[in-house]
Structure 1
Amino acid sequence: MKCAIGRVDGLEATPLPAVFADHDCRNNRLAWLGIGADGFLDAARVAIERHGADRVALVVGTSTASIGATEEAYRHLDAGRFPAHLRNPLLHTPHSLGLFLEAALRTRGPCLTVATACSSSAKIFAKAERLIRLGLADAAILAGVDTLCGSVLFGFNSLELISPEACRPFDAARRGISVGEAAGFALLEREGAASAPRLLGYGESSDAYHMSTPHPQGLGARMALVDALARAGLAPGDVDYINLHGTATVKNDAVEAALVADVFPPGTRASSTKGWTGHTLGAAGILETVVTLLAMERDLVPGMLNSTTPDPLCGPQLAFANETRAIRVALSNSFGFGGNNCTLVFGNPRTH
């Protein structure tokens, strides 16, 4: 198997602090690295102190969790059982990320894991909004973390979705995805700082058309998009920028390009940033949310790295090169296997 991957260096040589030794695995190491970036850990602890540990929810999105640790345990079976040093039940569970972060942050509110493939860490924004709106929490710490493992690499390869070179979203000669890994964090509060971007709405759908192929007319993606705009009280013409799911597979990009061309006016700008990051699976939603918010902050529509020749199905909305443009309202699309779709709507604090 020949493919381009994005791998975070140094995780193998950087164990978790000794107090978290029972949670030590590659996925949780990446989570610990991510939560310490840009002062987020300090901000999270301040929020927990302000609201109270039992009023802060922890909502995590991941598709692989610590499956790499489970793969290792299977490779070392002893008389049909995991060897004693690899038998840790805190790791061999889809909830390992949430359990680790709950221990690290000492939150006591709802702790939920969302695992809907590549839409996982987009859907956590919707889940957190509902928890806050229903009075079950006053704030939510959101985490999306996925690391590379054999199941992912060999699984995508078996589906013939892996590109042998760096991916090229919406390019006429695209050949598939490049797999990456990432950790992203966000803090969602009922009343945030005036300078903070606003979550204006979200839309979700589950069309269940096929386990690994999007609906040919983009039914599920359209439902999520329409739902998001309706919840935000916006029309397509109000949207300045869309961060597309844009995996660089033949079918996904064709369906999404057709949907954007059909729904949005020519002046709306849209791009996929997976050429820069690779497809980070369960972490893609929150990673691309961060990219979208940075684009709003910097008045920059990011272009599509590696993509040079637009597929004929692409409408005038797609931006292949970086563009300077004020962004008041932005969307972020995340579509997962099994028809699990989510669109998020954000407002620029300078205009909302």
Structure 2
Amino acid sequence: MNTSHINIIGIGAISGYGWGTAPLWDGLKSGKAAATLQHDVAAPNQNPVWLAKVPVGGDSADGTSRFGRALRGAAREAIEDALSRGWKPGKRVGLVHAVVLGEVDEWRNFYLHDEGQRRVRDYLTLMPSTPVYLLMQEHGFHGPAMNVGAMCASGNAGLITAKMWLNTGFVDDVVFVATDLSLTPENIEHFVKLGVGVVDVEPQDGCRPFQQGSRGFGMGEAATAFVLTGNDRGAYARVLGGSMSHDAFHATSINPNLTQVRACFDDALHNAGVSAKQVRYLNAHGPGTAQCDAAETAMLETVLGSQAQVYSVKPLTGHCQGAASAIETAAAVLGLERNIVPASPQVADGHPQLLDGFTAAEHGLTVKSSLGMGGHNSVVVLAPV
């Protein structure tokens, strides 16, 4: 068991609410979803759909790619935030980048508009190594840099990887970024066909985690960044521990016996060196699908002994796919500093321990769970400083 904690000292976030952590917090506080009605310019005769897409923005010097601009913009905000809070980068600053679908817009343009022809220099912008290299070059970091992917659980996977790097002395500090700007018409259509994506009504009508009448999730995009260090000074919150497991059961479904999900929760608490009684909040994966709600309800009532309260921010941010657990962790951590739990407003009858909107925080730990498509289970344990 490794009980050495790490600290989150810088945060950057780009979401459907806009560019920066301030728009994210203000949007969550409003209780209104980030999604707006979006028209597909390639199919103007189709009905508009509700999406929490990252709006146009960023630094033009970061290139023309929405993905690259968001990745570097979130990282830059987190690094500047950390420096303002007293962070002094060590000799080996590593980078962990959580990504599932990378330059989706640009690959789409490469095949559909460029017909597979580009100058070599422009083609290189499609490579997953390029935005990582540009970020490292911009800030003069020379530690290890890598991409990780575990579907919707990628954010938790990245935090756990960063913690391992720091605990072993492999690096002095870590910049962790999770990026997903993948809402192309084709991806949206297939999630709707899978029966989980809901884009024909406002998100809070369709996505009601742990409440009656939920149909699934609204779709969103995000880029989220954290600066992680072993130094307590200026920290927002602590990452005490975490765990991951795999169902090895089905491409889209959770194993109904929940053996591996339960083991992941148990192992995360053990790794963090805490007991279930210390957990006050479950920041759930909470996509509003029947099987995920059932699985996390079971964990709430068994592993956590019905002592914790539960919430999900997906009705507000949308399901941000590979960046989902990271943007949801950012919401929790921003709340920890403010002594607020940033829960979504309740819209229907729900679980008795479901929080209803912004709530004054009580003493205790927050568990962040994320259950990724394909059997990826992940849990991270967070604590206030």
Pairing partner for 1:51 from 80, 84, 90:
90
1:133 paired residue number: 167
Aligned equivalents of 1:15 and 1:86: distance in 2? 23
**Residues 1:62 and 2:102 are matched in the alignment:** no
1:28 paired residue number: 68
Alpha-carbon distance, 1:2 to partner: 6.4
Alpha-carbon distance, 1:303 to partner: 3.0
**Is residue 28–residue 100 contact of structure 1 (8 Å, CA) maintained in 2?**
no
2:113 paired residue number: 76
Structure of greater relative contact order (alpha carbons < 8 Å, 6+ residues apart): 2
What is the one-letter code of the residue matched to 2:95?
L
SS of structure 1 residue aligned to 2:102: coil
In proportion to residue count, which structure has more helix?
Answer: 1
Alpha-carbon distance, 1:204 to partner: 0.9
Aligned equivalents of 1:110 and 1:48: distance in 2? 19
1:291/1:214 CA distance change after superposition, 3 Å: same
What is the one-letter code of the residue matched to 2:94?
A
Aligned equivalents of 1:177 and 1:146: distance in 2? 16
Aligned equivalents of 1:182 and 1:76: distance in 2? 25
Aligned equivalents of 1:190 and 1:152: distance in 2? 39
Alpha-carbon distance, 1:87 to partner: 7.1
**Is residue 121–residue 284 contact of structure 1 (8 Å, CA) maintained in 2?**
yes
2:289 paired residue number: 249
Pairing partner for 1:309 from 332, 349, 365:
349
**Is residue 141–residue 185 contact of structure 1 (8 Å, CA) maintained in 2?**
yes
Which string of whole-angstrom CA distances, capped at 9 and with x for unpartnered residues, describes residues 60-83 of structure 1? 1122111221011110253xxx12
Unmatched segments (≥5 aa) in structure 1: none
SS of structure 2 residue aligned to 1:203: strand
Aligned equivalents of 1:234 and 1:15: distance in 2? 42
Alpha-carbon distance, 1:302 to partner: 3.1
2:220 paired residue number: 180
1:153 paired residue number: 188
Pairing partner for 1:102 from 129, 136, 148:
136
SS of structure 2 residue aligned to 1:338: coil
1:8 paired residue number: 54
What is the one-letter code of the residue matched to 2:382?
F
Which string of whole-angstrom CA distances, capped at 9 and with x for unpartnered residues, describes residues 135-181 of structure 1? 21111001111113325313312312111321222221111111111
Pairing partner for 1:88 from 115, 122, 131:
122
1:288 paired residue number: 328
Q: Which moved more, 1:103-112 or 1:273-282?
A: 103-112
1:213 paired residue number: 253
1:212/1:44 CA distance change after superposition, 3 Å: farther
What is the one-letter code of the residue matched to 2:374?
G
What is the one-letter code of the residue matched to 1:41?
E
Aligned equivalents of 1:248 and 1:128: distance in 2? 29
**Is residue 367–residue 379 contact of structure 2 (8 Å, CA) maintained in 1?**
yes
1:46/1:56 CA distance change after superposition, 3 Å: farther
What is the one-letter code of the residue matched to 1:217?
N
1:268 paired residue number: 308
Give the alignment's TM-score, normalised by structure 1: 0.86
1:3/1:210 CA distance change after superposition, 3 Å: farther
Aligned equivalents of 2:87 and 2:333: distance in 1? 23
**Is residue 284–residue 312 contact of structure 2 (8 Å, CA) maintained in 1?**
yes
1:149/1:345 CA distance change after superposition, 3 Å: same
Alpha-carbon distance, 1:325 to partner: 2.9
1:300/1:102 CA distance change after superposition, 3 Å: same
Q: CA RMSD, aligned part only?
A: 2.5
1:333 paired residue number: 369
Aligned equivalents of 2:362 and 2:228: distance in 1? 24
Of all paired residues, the percent bearing the same amino acid is: 26
Count of residues paired in the alignment:
333
What is the one-letter code of the residue matched to 1:43?
A
What is the one-letter code of the residue matched to 1:212?
T
**Is residue 217–residue 255 contact of structure 1 (8 Å, CA) maintained in 2?**
no
What is the one-letter code of the residue matched to 1:68?
D
1:50/1:304 CA distance change after superposition, 3 Å: closer
Which runs of structure 1 show a deviation greater than 4 angstroms over 4 or more consecutive aligned residues?
A: 44-49
**Is residue 97–residue 178 contact of structure 2 (8 Å, CA) maintained in 1?**
yes
Give the alignment's TM-score, normalised by structure 2: 0.79
SS of structure 2 residue aligned to 1:137: coil
Aligned equivalents of 2:300 and 2:219: distance in 1? 24
Aligned equivalents of 1:325 and 1:134: distance in 2? 33
SS of structure 2 residue aligned to 1:186: strand
Which string of whole-angstrom CA distances, capped at 9 and with x for unpartnered residues, describes residues 288-333 of structure 1? 11111122222223333363221xxx4x332234332324311111
Alpha-carbon distance, 1:343 to partner: 0.8
Which string of whole-angstrom CA distances, capped at 9 and with x for unpartnered residues, describes residues 174-216 of structure 1? 1111111111111111223164421111111122221111222
Alpha-carbon distance, 1:48 to partner: 8.9
